Each structure stands twice: as C-alpha cells, then as structure tokens.
C-alpha cells in the first residue's frame, strides 16, 4: 500500500512541476544615432517588459554620423531600424526592399532659429544672411526657402558643428538645428530665440520612422506586429511620463545628463504626439510630399513607387484590436 501510494505521488510530481518558460525571440534594432531620449519609446518597451511580454528579447545597436544604419537592415543582421523618411525613399529607389511600419516623429524636429532681438522671424528674413546648416538640414532649408521664393544666390550656407558658443558669438545670425537637441542646449544656456518651423511654411516633413525588410513582413508578419505593438505601447508611456525617461536613458548611456535628457524628451512631446490620429500613425500624403520635395531638390533621381515605401497594415491592426 505504501509503495503504491509513493508511486502515485511520483507520477503526480511532473504534472505539478512548473512548465519551462518559452524562450524569447532575439531581435536586433539598429538605431540611427547614439543612445538618447530620441529613442525613449524603445527603451520603455525594453525596460518595462513590453518586449518580453510579446516574447521578444531586443538588443539595440547604436548609430551615429559614421554609421550606415541602412545596411544592417538590408543584409539581415538587424530585424528593425530607425531612419529618416528620406533614407527609406532613397534606399527603396536603389532597390533595397525596406519599408516603414510607423512614424515616430510625426512632425520634423528640424527648425531654424536666431537671437530674439535679431529681427529674423520668417524665411524672407534669410535674404542676405549666413545660415548655419549641416548635410541633414540642407534639404529642409533649401525646400523651405524655395517655397518662399528665396533664391539660392540670396543667402550663404556654412557648415558648423553644434556649438552654443558659436551661436552666442552672433557671427552667424541664423542657425539650423533640432528642436529637441541644439535648441534645447541654446535655451538651457539662457538665450532667448526666435524659432522658425518649416512646417509652418508648407514643408511637412517628419522623422524617425521604424523600418524593416519586405521579406520579414511577408515571412513573419506576427513578429513585426509584436515588435510594433510593444514599441507603440512604449511610446505612449514615454509621452505620458516624460520625467521617467532620463532614468531609462542612463541604462544604455551611463554618462547621459539626466536633466538634459528630460529637457529633450519634453521638447519631443509635440513632435511625437501631435494631437492628430494615433502615435506612430502614417499619413500617405506626407510620403508623397516628401518624394516631391526630394525630386524638386534633385536628391531623388530614380524611379520609386511611393506606395511601396510604407505600410499601414500593422498600425491599423494594432489600433483596432
């Protein structure tokens, strides 16, 4: 009787033992720049377990000025990435089958600014002036001035690093920069400035789109859906809790200035959450406008079907769940 009872007990033990946890699917995300609040939604999804709850173990690769952040998507060494819309359009025109699945910064952070007492408040005031730009700002600058009938021979462009002391010196009266980066630095240094938004003059650009390969979309759409669902949830949290972001940024960049990262996050809020549609939403007409601008500026010279550059499939599915 004793042996029979012991055998029954032993037979029951496996049934009571906890099941082995399902292994997480490894995913690599190629960032466009170094770790900072710009990628807050991804950090939230990672640190607060949103990726893990979708069965994903996500690793971030830093980008930067010297990093080609398109190639890892093309060669399959990264599943997802962050890029500018122009990068995606030009890659597609070159036959690289990449596609945007969401737009994080639905309003471009690129702006132009001057000292508040300079009298420079609109694009027409750029005539006869020197403007600080970079290669990433040039397209927006030239498109805005062309739209406002300011000819290229009516202004001078200089290429300078992001240096608050140079702005303070006033030798270059107009500076281009990012609202959530250089503008934050200038304002934190105590300078009052006039900010000119190209969006107010018909240049409706956007930034930081989430991208993946056509192949991954066709072969494993569920993986794409899970990644995007967690990322959108992360961005929603980031928008609602901007003060929590600096503590997350330092998990990836221990040398980050927490006060600076919080200021950057706060400056990013109206760019991510525009009050129109949902976070991450794709507006097809914005892509059409971007293509037209790239062609007008002779940056895009090859044929591309703009409808192939993005998909709203996953956004629609996630927001109707």
- How far apart (Å, rounded) are the C-alpha atoms in residues 283 and 277? 9
Residue 51 has which token pair?
A: 């990726």
Query: Under 8 Å CB-to-CB from 56, ≥6 apart: which residues?
Result: 24, 25, 26, 27, 223, 226, 227, 230
Q: Return d(Cα 121, Cα 196) in angstroms, integer.
A: 7
Report the pLDDT value the prediction gives residue 6, as an integer from 0 to 100: 44
**CB-based contact 99:215 (threshold 8 Å):** no
pLDDT at 321: 87
Within this chain, domains 25-107+206-319 and 110-201 share the same CATH topology: yes
Region at 298 (left for phi over 0; alpha for psi -120 to 50; beta for the rest): left
CATH code for the part of the protein at 110-201: 3.40.190.10
List pLDDT tens digits, range 69-100.
999 999 999 999 999 999 999 999 999 999 99
Nearest by Cα to 180 from 121, 238, 117: 238
pLDDT at residue 9, rounded to an integer = 44
Whether this model's pTM surpasses 0.75: yes
What is the model's pLDDT at position 19?
A: 57
**Cα(167)–Cα(268) distance, integer angstroms:** 22
Query: How many angstroms separate the CA atoms of 250 and 35, rounded?
Result: 9
Query: Across the beta sheet with 98-105, what order do the strands follow?
Result: 56-61, 25-30, 80-83, 207-213, 98-105
Q: In 3D, which of 64, 201, 71 has the Cα closest to residue 123?
A: 201
- Kind and range of the H or E run holding 74: helix 71-75
The strands making up 110-115's β-sheet, listed across from edge to edge, are 156-159, 130-133, 174-178, 110-115, 193-196
- In terms of C-beta density within 10 A (0-12 exposed, 13-18 middle, 19 or more buried), how is residue 266 classed? middle
Q: What is the CA radius of gyration of the chain?
A: 24
Half-sphere exposure of 57 (CA within 13 A, CB side): 5
Q: Look up residue 169 and give its two tokens.
A: 């010196």
DSSP letters for 242-274: GGGHHHHHTTT-TT--HHHHHHHHHHHHHHH--
Q: For the chain, list the strands marked E by DSSP.
A: 25-30, 56-61, 80-83, 98-105, 110-115, 130-133, 156-159, 174-178, 193-196, 207-213
User: Quick one: which of 37, 35, 34, 39 has its CA closest to 209?
Assistant: 39
CA distance 231 to 316: 15
In the chain, where the domains are located: 25-107+206-319, 110-201
CATH class of the 25-107+206-319 domain in this structure: alpha beta
Low-confidence ranges of the chain (pLDDT < 70): 1-21
């Amino acid at each position: 009787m004793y042996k029979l009872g012991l055998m029954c007990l032993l037979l029951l033990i496996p049934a009571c033992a906890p099941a082995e946890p399902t292994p997480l699917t490894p995913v690599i995300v190629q960032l466009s720049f170094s770790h900072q609040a710009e990628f807050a939604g991804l950090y939230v999804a990672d640190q607060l377990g949103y990726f893990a709850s979708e069965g994903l173990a996500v690793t971030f690769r830093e980008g930067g000025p010297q990093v080609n952040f398109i190639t890892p998507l093309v060669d399959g060494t990264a599943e997802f990435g962050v890029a500018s819309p122009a990068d995606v359009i030009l890659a597609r025109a070159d036959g690289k089958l990449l596609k945007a699945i969401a737009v994080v910064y639905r309003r471009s952070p690129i702006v132009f600014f001057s000292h508040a007492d300079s009298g420079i408040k609109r694009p027409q005031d750029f005539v006869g002036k020197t403007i600080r730009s970079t290669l990433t700002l040039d397209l927006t600058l030239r498109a805005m001035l062309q739209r406002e009938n300011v000819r290229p021979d009516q202004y001078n462009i200089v290429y300078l690093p992001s240096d608050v002391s140079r702005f303070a010196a006033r030798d270059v009266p107009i500076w281009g920069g990012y609202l959530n980066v250089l503008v934050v630095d200038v304002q934190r240094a105590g300078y009052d400035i006039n900010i000119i938004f190209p969006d107010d003059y018909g240049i409706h650009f956007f930034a930081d789109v989430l991208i993946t390969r056509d192949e991954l979309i066709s072969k494993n759409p569920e993986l794409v859906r899970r990644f995007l669902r967690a990322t959108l949830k992360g961005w929603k949290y980031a928008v609602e809790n901007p003060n929590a972001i600096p503590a997350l940024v330092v998990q990836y960049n221990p040398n980050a200035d927490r006060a600076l990262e919080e200021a950057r996050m706060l400056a990013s809020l109206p760019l991510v959450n525009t009050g129109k549609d949902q976070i991450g939403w794709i507006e097809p007409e914005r892509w059409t406008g971007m293509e037209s601008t790239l062609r007008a500026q002779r940056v895009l010279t090859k044929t591309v079907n703009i409808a192939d550059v993005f998909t709203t499939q996953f956004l629609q599915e996630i927001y109707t769940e």
